[in-house]
Amino acid sequence: MSTLTTATAGAPTAGAARRAPRKARRTEPIYYLFLLPSLVLFTLAIPVPALIGIFFSFTNSVGIGDWDFVGLTNYAVAFSDPAIWQSYLFTFGFALVTVLVVNAVAFLLAVGLTSRIRLKIGLRAVFVIPMVISGIIIAYVFNFLFSNSLPAAGQAVGIPFLETSLLADPDLAWVAIVVVTAWQAVPGTLLIYIAGLLAIPGDVYEAADLDGATRTQRLTRITLPLVAGYVVINVILGFKNFLNAYDIIVGLTNGGPGTSTRSIAMTIITGFNGGDYAYQMANATIFFVVTVLIASLQLSVTRGRNTP
Amino acid sequence: MTTTTLTTTPSRSGSSVPPSARARVRRSRERWNRTGTILLALCTVTVLLPLFVTVSMAFKTTGQAVDGKAFSLPAPFSVEGFVQAWQLTDFPVGLATSLLVTAGTVAATILLAAVASFAIMRNWERRVFRWSFFYLLGAMFIPFPVVALPQIQLTGRLGLDNPLGVIVLATMFQLSFSVLLFTAFLRSIPVELEESARIDGATTWQTFWRLVFPLLAPMSATVGIFAFLYAWNDFMMPSLIISDPALQTLPVRQQLFQTQFSNNYNVSFASYLMAMAPAIVAYLFTQRWVMEGVTQGAVKG
């Protein structure tokens, strides 16, 4: 019925003037119906659990049974807990290195794939394959390569450095995690860079050629400044994703050797089995605040630059 | 394997560049870059080698698989690994679960995000809708690990510690990003189009399904691809939410080979191959769409 009223009300105005009296229009109930399922499910799935988690971070709950309020004890303990510090240090260091590696590799590949080469489509298709493979399965495959094939190859060639598994070395296991994470993350980043490079008009390069620019000059003076916005997007998106690292680490080292490669996400999840429910909820809340800070930084940067 | 064909093809066809009457500067750049092509083709080894090892290990016998030569070809050719992997991981059930979770997440994400975005964009002047938009977008700030523990408990209490629960949660984690994409796209559709449909007597419901939703198709594809990649590949959420191991998705089932049967490499690799093959095959047939969709989504988001 309400549709009928809007239809009849809209008919004369549409013929007479463009700017129909929008403000006078009542919102049709159907729009609420369209929005409601998303709002309800979303609230139950994410904000409610988040609030429950924050609430329990002020208690001594172990997940089931009785609990008491303990104030900020969990937070105080968390801030002086070497295990938590280690997981933050590891995760941030890992995310930083991986972001650099992924962006450098993806950018170079994108430059190559947008230059005058043969088999452009085919090569691009191959480089994107890792994107469609599950992280945990990639990690299992690389786990085998790192712990069996690489040491075997090292022994055959006689390089003592390679003879022991990378994954068994507490100081170097993170390198393997960076390699595998990069292997999977390069395609997405690559596609964004390709879009950025293709958006650069060709006549800019022609003008540079006429002015006698060298290849390096073209790269540093034209290409890089013109894709700067895409670099910002890729770095921020990547960093945010890598901070949540879980799947690939579980498949490669499962946090080991010892706890040397245990990420923040993995530490939080230990609260599920270890009886540290409330304590790890405090950790999760801290992590949430950190994520919000990074995300707001992202918003201010992307809005400010007015990137694509 | 593929690398050799990739490098030989260009050299065979040589420099068959159509002669053009353009300026000399232009002409010198029109030639294809031989070194670049060969270099990039060599780089594909980094992608193809792990896949080659997976395939070749999968077809070995158990005896050959433990000999330490990962890069050797299977001799004799054996499907024994596949037979065992099929039974050990209960592959049909795993595949069905993964397909159900993926299809459910893709459909629910497209549907819910499209109708919600439509309602938001057409009532932007109303505060409720504007605020709902920012509320839904807020979830981009909440990654799964932050809410994982309470979600495990909640889904357990509500009887959603199963694939259905994963569909609901995965859809909700995809929602913010998808709403962002749909609203951006809806802005580019002229409202006049809908107004003329209304003049012809269409209700809002009809206008949306017959006119707007079909127009949204390119963005639905993008949203669907992102939802697919997430739902099909994710390990963390299903491994924590689904409590019954018999109802686990394919990626989670692969854990089996880390705890047991850890020396039957041919079996584990056959299992990995079966778990990754469907997505790779689907990708090879739709690669252009996938690449375009991901580019569009990532650049807009």
Q: Do A134 and B70 touch (CB under 8 A)?
A: no
Q: How far is CA A103 from CA A142, A231, A238, B277, in A?
A: 21, 8, 9, 27
Query: Does the pLDDT of residue A156 top 90, yes or no?
Result: no
Which of B141, B179, B269 is opposite residue A295, by nearest beta carbon? Answer: B141
pLDDT single digits (tens) B171-214: 999 999 999 999 999 988 888 888 888 888 889 899 999 999 99
Q: Which of A30, A284, A287 sits opposite B205 (nearest CB)?
A: A30
- How confident is the model at residue B30, as a pLDDT? 55
Task: Select the more confidently predicted residue: B152 or A152.
Answer: B152
* Structure-block tokens of residue A143: 């786990």
Proportion of chain A above pLDDT 90, given as a percent:
48
CB distance B283–A132 less than 8 Å?
yes
Q: How far apart are CA A50 and CA A200, in angstroms?
A: 43
Burial class (CB in 10 A: 0-12, 13-18, 19+), A116: middle
pLDDT surpassing 90 at residue B119: yes
Nearest residue of B to residue A195 by CA position? B295
Residues of chain B in contact with residue A52, where contact means CB-CB under 8 angstroms, are 150, 153-154
For testing the chain A interface, which of B4, B141, B196 should be mutated: the one with the most A CBs within 10 Å?
B141
Who has greater pLDDT, B124 or B26? B124
Which domains does chain B possess?
1-12+45-78 (no CATH), 86-300 (1.10.3720.10)
Q: State residue A212's pLDDT score.
A: 85
CA angle B264, B163, A272 (to 5 degrees): 75
Is the confidence at residue B15, as pLDDT, over 60? Answer: no
Cβ of residue B116 closer than 8 Å to a chain A Cβ? yes
Mean pLDDT of A277-285: 92
Name beta bridge partners: A69.
A59
The answer, yes or no, to whether residue B24 has pLDDT greater than 50, is no
What average pLDDT score do residues B125-139 get? 91
Q: Average pLDDT, stretch A123-145? A: 93
Amino acid at B237: M
B112, A41: Cβ pair inside 8 Å?
yes
Rounded Cα distance between B260 and B84, Å, is 13
- How many angstroms separate the Cα of B4 from the Cα of each of A231, B14, B45, B69? 33, 16, 10, 22
Q: Does B289 touch chain A (CB under 8 A)?
A: no
Q: How far apart are CA B234 and CA B101, in angstroms?
A: 11
Q: Does A137 reach chain B within 8 Å, measured CB to CB?
A: yes
Shortest CA gap A171–chain B (Å): 23
Q: Residue B151 has which token pair?
A: 């979600």
CA distance A46 to A40: 10
Contact between A46 and B139 using a beta-carbon 8 Å cutoff: yes
pLDDT for position B1: 32
- The three-state secondary structure class of B25 is helix
Q: Residue A167 corresponds to which amino acid?
A: L
B135 at interface of A, judged by CB pairs closer than 8 A: yes
Per the prediction, chain A carries an average pLDDT of 85
| pLDDT band for position B301 (cuts 50, 70, 90) | low
Residues of B numbered 72-111 whose beta carbons fall under 8 angstroms of chain A's beta carbons: which are they? none
Contact B84, B197 (CB under 8 A): no
Residue of chain A whose Cα is closest to the Cα of B3:
A123
Of the pLDDT bands very low, low, confident and very high (cuts 50, 70, 90), residue B91 is very high
> What is the C-alpha radius of gyration for chain B, rounded to an integer number of angstroms?
25
B interface test, pick of A136, A281, A302 with most B CB neighbours within 10 Å: A136
**How does pLDDT run across A16-53, given as a tens digit for each residue?**
444 444 555 678 889 999 999 999 999 999 999 999 99
Residues B22/A101, Cβ–Cβ less than 8 Å:
no
CA distances from A266 to A82, A195, A253 (A): 15, 34, 12
Set of chain B residues whose Cβ sits within 8 Å of the Cβ of A235: none
Residue B64 pLDDT > 90: no
Could you tell me if B207 and B197 are in contact, meaning their C-beta atoms sit under 8 angstroms apart?
yes
What is the set of domains in chain A, with CATH numbers? 2-45 (no CATH), 81-273 (1.10.3720.10)
Contacts with B, A 48-107, CB within 8 Å: 48-50, 52-53, 56, 63
pLDDT band at A12 (very low <50, low <70, confident <90, very high): very low
What gap in Å lies between CA A51 and CA A58, rounded to an integer?
Answer: 12
pLDDT at B140: 78
**Chain B contact set for A256 (CB, 8 A):** none
CA-to-CA separations, A86 to A79, A89, A166, B88, in angstroms, rounded: 11, 5, 20, 37
Instruction: Give A59's strand partners.
Output: A69
Least confident of A181-195, A238-252, A293-307, B123-137: A293-307
Q: Which residue is listed with tokens 């809708």?
A: B129
Give the three-state DSSP class for B236. Answer: helix
Beta-carbon separation of B291 and A128 below 8 A: yes
> How far does A288 lie from chain B, in Å, by closest CA?
6
Residue B27 has pLDDT above 90, yes or no: no
Residue B21 is predicted with a pLDDT of 41
A contact residues 155-174, partner B, Cβ 8 Å cutoff: none
Residue A187: name the closest of A109, A92, A292 by CA.
A109
Q: For residue A213, give the chain B residue with the closest CA.
A: B25
Query: What does the block give as tokens for B147?
Result: 């809410």
For the cut 60, the answer to whether the pLDDT of residue A67 exceeds it is yes
Q: A128, B229: Cβ pair inside 8 Å?
A: no
- For the stretch A169-185, pLDDT in tens is 888 899 999 999 999 99
pLDDT at B19 over 80: no
Q: Considering only CA atoms, which of B270, B38, B297, B72 is closest in space to residue B176?
A: B297
Q: Which residues contact A52 (CB under 8 A, 6 or more apart)?
A: B150, B153, B154
Residue B61 has a pLDDT of 87
Give yes or no for a contact between A94 and A172, defined as CB atoms under 8 angstroms apart: no
Contact assessment for residue B60 and residue B216, using Cβ atoms and an 8 Å cutoff: no
Nearest Cα of chain B lies from the Cα of A1 at a distance, in angstroms, of: 10
CA distances from B110 to A13, A307, B171, B268 (A): 34, 26, 9, 35
Q: Any idea which residue has 């790890």 for tokens?
A: A280
Higher-confidence position of A220 and B246: B246
Give one DSSP letter per residue of chain A, joined into a string: -HHHHHHHHHHHHHHH-SS--GGGPPPPHHHHHHHHHHHHHHHHHTHHHHHHHHHHTTB---SSS---B-TTHHHHHHHT-HHHHHHHHHHHHHHHHHHHHHHHHHHHHHHHHHSS-SSHHHHHHHHHGGGGS-HHHHHHHHHHIIIIIHHHHHHHHT-HHHHS-GGG-TTTHHHHHHHHHHHHHHHHHHHHHHHHHHTS-HHHHHHHHHTT--HHHIIIIIIHHHTHHHHHHHHHHHHHHHHT--HHHHHHTTT-STTTT--HHHHHHHHHHSS-HHHHHHHHHHHHHHHHHHHHHHHHHHHHHT--
Query: Measuring CA to CA, which residue among A45, A78, A73 is closest to residue A59?
Result: A73
Average the pLDDT over B99-128 and give the result. Answer: 95
Amino acid identity of A303? Answer: R
Interface test with B, best of A40, A101, A144, A190 (most B CBs within 10 A): A144
pTM check: above 0.90: no
From A49, A112, A292, residue closest to B154, measured CB to CB: A49
Is residue A91 a contact partner of residue A263, using CB atoms and an 8 Å limit? yes
For B142, the closest chain A residue by CA position comes to A288
- The residue-averaged pLDDT of B83-105 equals 95
C-alpha distances (whole Å) from A85 to each of A117, A263, A286, B282 are 48, 10, 12, 42
Cβ A112–B254 below 8 Å, yes or no? no
Q: Which residue has the higher pLDDT, A54 or B10?
A: A54
Query: Quick check: B130 contacting A, CB < 8 Å?
Result: no
State how far the alpha carbon of A301 is from the alpha carbons of A2, A106, B224, B298, in Å. Answer: 44, 22, 28, 16
